[in-house]
A = this chain, B = another copy of it.
Amino acid sequence: MKKTLLAAGVAIVVGGVAGTALAQVKPEVLVKQRQAVMTLQGKYFGPIAGMASGKVTPYNADVVSRSATYLENLAQMAWDGFHESTKGGKNTNALPEIWSQKAKFDELSQRLQTETAKLGEVARAKDEAGVKRQYAAVGKVCGACHESFRQKL
């Protein structure tokens, strides 16, 4: 229930107050903030992927649950940072396709939120088999978005 209310809140924000406020945030600050989100998504997806794939042992359901909840929250935080004003900026690997193929980008950003929410659910339920299925779905969206919209590193 709380999650649903939150999701509704996000939708309101995109079209409302935050839209206005964002116009005043400097592009370099927006870039720094969205990169911070990516850094932390990596921090918390790392242990989940490690344990779910068996590369990190033993599997710790408490660590997975906590990390997945953080990841679910983080997965909502980057998107308002991809403001038009940041297009072509320095110190970023974001490709201009983000804006020229906006619908595709938005769809992937939405999918990340959906898939991480599902991961959070199975992780908090301590459903290890569910986590082992769902972490791959999350990794797939990360990869798909980076493939199309991030400069090759």
Interface residues of A (CB under 8 A from B): 2, 5-6, 8-10, 12-13, 16-18, 21, 32-33, 35-37, 39-40, 43, 47, 56, 58, 60, 62-63, 65-66, 69-70, 73-74, 76-77, 124
A9 and B35 alpha carbons, distance in the complex (Å): 27
Give the docked Cα–Cα distance between A63 and B16 (Å): 9
Among B17, B62, B74, B124, contact of A63 (Cβ-Cβ < 8 Å) = B17
Cα of A32 to Cα of B17 in the assembled complex, Å: 30
Chain B, Cβ-Cβ closest to A39: B36
Between A8, A17, A35, A56, the greatest number of chain B beta carbons within 10 A of the residue's beta carbon is seen for A17
Which of B16, B39, B73, B124 touches A73 (beta carbons < 8 Å)?
A: B73
Across-interface contacts of A36 in B (CB, < 8 A): 35-37, 39-40, 43
A47-B18, A70-B73 known; A2-B124 Cβ under 8 A: yes
CB < 8 Å neighbour of A43 from B33, B39, B70:
B33
